[in-house]
Amino acid sequence: MTQAFDLVVIGAGSGGLAAAKRAASYGARVAIVEGDRVGGTCVIRGCVPKKLLVYGSAMRHLLADAPSYGWSVGPTQADSAELLRRVRAEVDRLNQLHIGFLEKAGVELVGGWGRLADARSVAVHDASGQEQRRLQAERILIAVGGRPHRPPIPGAELGWVSDDLFELERFPQRVVVVGAGFIACEFACILNGLGVAVTQLVRGDHLLRGFDLESARAVQEAMQADGIDIRLAHSPAAIEGQPGDLTLITEGGERIGCNGVLLATGRRPFLEGLNLEAAGVAVEGHRIPVDADQRTNVPHIYAVGDVTDRINLTPVAIDEGRALADSIWGGKPRQVDHTLVASAVFSQPELSGVGLTEEQAIERHGAEAIRVHRARFRPMSQALPARDPKVLLKLIVERASGRVLGCHMVGEHAAEIIQMAAIAIGMGATKADFDRTMALHPSVAEEFVTMPN
C-alpha cells in the first residue's frame, strides 16, 4: 500500500517531532516513521533519564550536608535498582505523552524502520527487514540522530555504551569509564554519587576538550576530590572476562578489574539502513551535510539534528526542525543561527558556558585584546557544611569594545544561570551592561554583575 504525504519524516526524535508537528500545524500532510519508542535519544536514552539520574546521585551530598543545617539523618543507602526503575517508568510515560502529541497535531505515526526506496518514497520495514508500507513524499526529512560509537579494540562488545546503563537492573560495585567528554564525565559522577567505585580513563591530559580549559580543570579537580580515580594519558587496549567480572587492559599494560566498562567514546550519525544511495543523498565522512536551510544535495530531501553532526544538542535539532517547517509551509523563511549556542555538562559540579572560551578568544583576537574577569568562592549553600568545591565564574571581554565574548561557570545551577546570560551575550552586552545590572543578593549569579574591572 502506498500513501502520499507532503512530508515524511524518518525518525521521531527531538528534531523530527518538532518539524512534523510544526509542519502539520500549517496544514501539511505529515507522516513520521519510527521503529523505536517516540522521543529519540533525548527522551528515551539521553538528556531526560540522565538528568533524573543526576538528581538521584546528587542526593548523597544533600543528605551528607543535612546535619549542618540541623536535620538529623539516620543511616542512608542508595538503591540504584529503585532509582533506575522509577527513571524507566518516567521514560515510558513521556513516550506515551509524545505519541499523544503527534495524534493531537494530526501527524500519522508509522511504526517501523524507514529507508529511502527512491528520491520520492520511503519504505517502512519491520524488525526482520520485511517491507510493510511505502510512503510517497513531496519532501523527506531525515532526523534519525546518532548512536554511541565503540572503539575498535578486542572485547569492545563486552563493554556498555551509554544506552545500556538505563536498562541495567542495578549499578555494580566497580565501573571503569572510558572517555573524557560530557557523557563520560556525567556518568562518572552519577555512578560515584550512587556509591560505585569509578575509574575514568582519559586519553589526553584533561577532561572536556572543547570547553573552557580552566572550567574543565575545575570540574576535574572536584571529581577527583570526590573520589573518582581519573587516569590521564590512559587508553584502553582490550577488555577481557565475562559480564560482571571484567578486566580492562590499557595500552600501557595495566590490568584494571571491574564489574563493568562504560565506553563513552563518542557518538556518530545513525546512517545504517537508510539506503541513502537510492535517492542520491551525499554523505561526508559519517554525516549527512546540509546547507543553511537544512537541505541535502537532493533539493527536496532535508536533514536535521545529530545526523548532520554539527552542534549535537536537543534544542538545536528542535529549532532546525521548526525553522524548516516555518520556511516551507509557514511562509516565514528563517535559518538557524549556530554561532551562539549555550552548552552545559551535568557533572558534579555542573559546568556551563556560552560564547568564546578563553582559548578561543585568544586565538581569534590575541591575548592582549581580551581581558578575563573571574570569581572563585565557596557558595553560601556550602558555608555551614564548610566543604568544597568552590564556584568558578568567568567573563571573557574584548578590551577595545568592552563586549562580553564568553561567559562560563562551574558550580550549582550553572546551566540555569548561563541560559539567562546567553540572552545578554546574544544581544551584544558589554561588561558595563553587566556592571549596571543590580545584583540579586545573596546569590551565586550576582558575581557576574559585581566582578571588578
Would you please indicate which residues are annotated as catalytic (active-site) residues? 441
Q: Which residues contact 389 (CB under 8 A, 6 or more apart)?
A: 218, 221, 222, 225, 349, 410, 411
The amino acid sitting at 250 is T
Coil vs helix vs strand at 81: helix
CA distance 139 to 4: 10
Taking each helix axis from N to C end, the angle separating 213-225 and 182-193, rounded to the nearest 10 degrees, works out to 20
Q: Which residues contact 241 (CB under 8 A, 6 or more apart)?
A: 158, 247
Coil vs helix vs strand at 408: strand
431 within 8 A of 402, measured Cβ to Cβ: yes
DSSP state of 438: P
C-alpha cell at 309: 553532526
Residues comprising the chain, all counted: 453
Q: Which residues contact 127 (CB under 8 A, 6 or more apart)?
A: 35, 113
Work out the angle at residue 441's Cα, subtended by the Cα atoms of residues 438 and 442, and round it to the nearest 5 degrees.
155
